A and B are shown apart, each in its own frame.
Chain A
Amino acid sequence: MDFDFQFDWSAAIASIPYLLPGIPWTLLISFGGLAFGFFIGIFFGLLRISPIRWLRWVAVGYIEIFRGTPILVQVLFIFYGLPQLLGSPINALVAGIAAIAVNSGAYISEIVRGGVQSIERGQREASLSLGLSRVQAFRYVIWPQAFRRMIPPLGNQGIISIKDTSLFSVIGVGELVRQGQIYIATTFTALEVYFMVALMYLAITWTLSILLRQLERRGIAGQ
């Protein structure tokens, strides 16, 4: 075999201006979706530990469905399937954000449940014994502590969801991978371009990792 192929740095660098416009789309879909996913996660996470059995079942149903099916199928369903039901097309950006939201929401539900359940029973008992209502005990005592513990796993989920957006090139939304594909179609420099695409994902996820580590080091996140 003949390995005379050379990595062409100039081709890699030349692709940067074409890839950069994908970054805002990647960030918009990721963080837009995660923001909704966070509220979905709080909602179903709290239902999941509700004292009322059928509410717990609703939450379990949601979590199992969206955790148990591939996000690629979810986004295809939303983008190509739902319009047949609704009778009107769905914007690719909206479909991408929705897919991240419902998917991350299922995982975040479990993070919320775990965070709340990790708080020692004595915290709730002390709050109630002071006359706080159950809602007050949750709001002022349980939740602030649970949220700190949730930050590291939430960060993990954020990184996973950012990478998941790469799949959304299939619905034609102009995120990083899609920008790369369009560029490669005219230059045929797949090696260099996908290398640069990977670097750009790393830049985003590393930034998030470092931020999270700072939060943990300052005692804002974690135990």
Chain B
Amino acid sequence: MTDTVSPTTPPIVRMQKLNKHFGSLHVLNDIDLEIVPGEVVVVIGASGSGKSTLIRCINGLEEFQSGTLSVDGNTLKPNGKSSKALQTIRTEVGMVFQQFNLFPHLSVIDNITLAPMKVRGWNREDAVNTAKRLLDRVGIADQADKYPSQLSGGQQQRVALARALAMEPRLMLFDEPTSALDPEMIGEVLDAMRELAKEGMTMVIVTHEMGFAREVADRVIFIHKGVIAEQGTPEQIFSAPQNEQTRSFLARVLKH
């Protein structure tokens, strides 16, 4: 992971002075953030701190009001006024959601092949082969013809991961990927994510799984009230947090 990242690599994500408001609520406040290719960044913070909003800005699911954001050389303008760049970014950035958001009317295989065929213009055979390879990789090759409602939560989330990977993204966003799962299914999803990190995928992960963060992250970012309150290696954040808010947050979540 870290050993492949040289300090001179240009960042794949660059945010400068990013501000986001929901009405009178200042959700993101002057965020500066750079992520280099191959880096695994885990974003932690209390609910409502703005961590999900932060990663949703990266693929334009949330608009921001001021500042600059560029992803892989494509620059997004404030207030969603850059549809061309946005479209390019979304084909290059994959996302896994808390609620899986699989398409319930499509079989597993069709969930995965839809975007490669319609967006990338692949023929069905290539798309199906890629989908099968990805399903095999996340350990559910035998579920290809089922519908999402026939799968367990853990299996659904692994399909969602395969669906995102089928677009061959350069960056993967994870928005609390295990928060909606029964405890016994969290491990299988984290395992698949761990594999992905090992293969060098650039990942930005919002999660409450502190053990996983500690093990997989190159960098941990703690967000408090829309501000990056502290960031550093997992060792620095979990063993020697400097910020008072970080300490009290970790004390609360690590207690159990």
Contact = CB atoms under 8 A, between A and B. Distances in A.
A123 B118 contact: no
Interface in B205-251: none
B114 A130 contact: yes
Contact of A129 (B95, B99, B103, B104): B95
Contacts of B102: 126
Interface residues of A, number: 18
Interface in A29-86: none
Interface in A140-161: 140-141, 144-145, 148
A10 to B, nearest CB: 54
B107 interface: no
Interface in A119-133: 120, 122-123, 125-133
Contacts of B101: 120, 122-123, 125-126
Given A125-B97, A136-B118, A140-B114, A131 B104 contact: no
A131 B105 contact: no
Contacts of A132: 114-115, 118-119
Contacts of B115: 130-132
Contacts of A136: 118-119
A128 B58 CA distance: 13
A40 B61 CA distance: 32
Contacts of B105: 144-145, 148
Nearest to A121: B101
B103 A131 contact: no
B164 interface: yes
Interface stretch (B8-16, B86-94, B122-130): B86-94
B38 to A, nearest CB: 21
B119 A128 contact: no
Interface string B173-189: 10000000000000000
Nearest to A140: B114
A17 B63 CA distance: 67
Contact of B90 (A129, A140, A141): A129
A120 B99 CA distance: 11
B61 A128 contact: yes
Contact of B93 (A126, A129, A144, A148): A129
The 10 closest A-B pairs by CB, nearest first: A131-B91, A126-B101, A130-B115, A122-B101, A129-B95, A131-B119, A131-B90, A144-B105, A145-B105, A122-B99
Given A128-B59, A128-B60, A145-B104, 9 more contacts: A122-B101, A126-B103, A128-B90, A129-B94, A132-B118, A132-B119, A136-B119, A140-B114, A140-B118
Interface of A: 120, 122-123, 125-133, 136, 140-141, 144-145, 148
14 contacts: A122-B101, A126-B102, A126-B103, A128-B90, A129-B90, A129-B164, A130-B119, A131-B87, A132-B114, A140-B114, A140-B118, A144-B105, A145-B104, A148-B105
